Structure 1
Amino acid sequence: MLRSSLLILLIFNIFINNLLYIGVATLILVLLNIFYNKNFKENLGRVKFLFFLYFITCLLQIFYTQEGEVLFKISRFYVTKEGMYNFLLNYLRVFNLLLLSWIVVANGIINTKYSKYQNIIENVIELVPQALLLIKKRMRIKWFFRYILKQIKVKN
């Protein structure tokens, strides 16, 4: 039952372009995560920095969509209704895919030979904020990768 409903929500998320329907799908996925995923709060805490980065990229989408009904103007840029719509739609779609993946991982719905790499991928995602700080410090690539690999080794 859960597998089929998740598949329907995935297909729905990919092919539907209505913001209201995508918003309802987000609400359903949040509720499913609350009920089926014990680590939901922990997962949200892990990826809040990634949400912030993605939010910034989506905000740029608002400013680059210049055609359509103008809501207001910021300096030389127009914020349009279509830009806001695209921003919200894309942001919710990525958030829905993330929520779907958390449910799948929490319930072990897909067991493949790659499931053993799940912890490594989660650790790398957690290290993204630290990686950005290291890049800002202009650390050499070799030392940067060594640092990341040490952190993964320590966590495992």
Structure 2
Amino acid sequence: MLNSFLLILFISTVFVQNLKVISIIFLIVFVLNVVLNKNLIINLKKLKVLVYIYMVTFIIQIISHQNGEVLFKVFNIYVTKNGVVYFLVTFLRIINLMMISWLAKDTGFLMNKLGRYRQVIENVIRLIPEVFVLFKRRLKFKSFLRYILREIKLKDN
């Protein structure tokens, strides 16, 4: 249930442009992180440095959007309502994506879905040098696949 909800939050975060909707998604993801994420404090400490970088980048974005209703003027730079809204939407979107990734990592739903294939993937990677030997033997594709699958089966047991 949480996995599909996280997917819906992710898709809506990526595609929605409305500031109110992005803010609601931010609140939902923040509450989910507070309740479910055991490593929230550690993740927030790691985020501290990135927030400064994002703030500088987004301030540049505010300055670059010069069309719309002017809120105030600093030197020869106009800070507009459209620029501030664009800044907030982009900033909240990035923070939402990071918090969704924390939830996905902490709940382990990616590893739960892919965990059962981990051993098979490791065996296939280990058998990559065998591919060159099989090409030297000039096996047919069907025989080649049978050999690889037999080796994977033997490694699993």
Q: Normalization by structure 1: what TM-score?
A: 0.70
Distance 1:47 1:69 in 2: 33
User: What CA distance in whole angstroms lies between the structure 1 residues aligned with 2:52 and 2:2?
Assistant: 30
Deviation at 1:15, TM superposition (A): 1.0
Question: Which residue number corresponds to residue 35 of structure 1?
Answer: 35
Q: Kindly report structure 1 stretches of 4+ aligned residues shifted beyond 3 Å.
A: none
| CA distance in 2 between partners of 1:33 and 1:101 (Å) | 10
Paired residues for 1:5-154 under 5 Å? 5-111=5-111, 112=114
Deviations 1:4-24 (A, max 9, x none): 100110111011111011001
Q: CA deviation at 1:52?
A: 1.1
Q: Report what 2:138 is aligned to.
A: none
The TM-score with structure 2 as length reference comes to 0.70
What does the per-residue CA deviation read over 1:75-95, in whole Å, with 9 as the maximum and x for residues that have no partner? Answer: 010000000000000000000
Q: Which of the pair is proportionally richer in helix?
A: 2
How far 1:47 sits from its partner (Å)?
1.4
Unaligned runs of 5+ in 1: 116-156
Q: Distance in 2 between matches of 1:64 and 1:75?
A: 14
Identity, in percent, stands at 42
Structure 2 segments unaligned to the other structure (5+ residues): 119-157
CA distance in 1, matches of 2:104, 2:15: 20
| 1:19-56 CA-partner distances (Å, limit 9, x unpaired) | 01100100000110111110101110111111110111
Aligned to 2:136: none
Aligned residues: 114
Cα distance in 2, alignment partners of residues 46 and 16 from structure 1: 27
Structure of higher CA gyration radius: 2
The alignment's C-alpha RMSD in Å is: 1.4
Which AA in structure 2 matches 1:22?
I
